[in-house]
Amino acid sequence: MKMMNYIRKSEEILIVLSMILILILIFSQALFRYLLGSGFVWGEELARYLHIAQVWVGASLAVKTGGHIRITFFRDLFKTNTKKYIDLLATLLFFLFTLFIAIKGTEFILQLIDTGQKAPSLGVLMAIPYTVIPLGGFLMCLRLFQQFKSIWQGNLIEDDGLEGVDK
């Protein structure tokens, strides 16, 4: 459990730091283009890769906080015990999907390493920025395993409704 808290904190810190770095990069790009007529060649590409990393790491954090979209109309027609099995099935399917992403993402990175393809502006191996795909898939697998265990123990996933909308 301590390890999962460490991972959650690391995810949050990574997302915040990357947001700050993106802000600095984009602001400096605009400033340099205005003042000097040209920005950094690599700035936009790095900002794009950082944003992609935010999405994949944020997807894992969204599993933890229940932030992914769920359609519960069908599930809500049933009693608590049946809801449990529907939630277990949905979590298992989501887990299998993220496991597929992690495995195929790893295979893709290995192909990129074999080809030696490099990013146009940064000049780094394309495998480096694409590492976030299997990382995000693996982190989501960890979170979904946690969620599956919690549902199995009887803690159903409850819909809190829409934020800012009274019931």
> What residues does each domain of the chain span?
2-152
Looking at residue 165, what is its pLDDT? 45
Dump pLDDT digits (tens) for 51-74: 999 999 999 999 988 788 777 788
- Give the C-alpha separation, 148 to 137, whole Å: 16
- Give the C-alpha separation, 94 to 32, whole Å: 44
- Give the C-alpha separation, 81 to 1, whole Å: 27
Q: Which residues contact 108 (CB under 8 A, 6 or more apart)?
A: 130, 133
Residue 56 · residue 136 · CB < 8 Å? yes
Looking at residue 164, what is its pLDDT? 46
Looking at residue 159, what is its pLDDT? 57
Which residue positions in the chain have pLDDT lower than 70? 1, 158-167
- Give the C-alpha separation, 86 to 145, whole Å: 16
CB atoms within 10 A of CB 135: 18
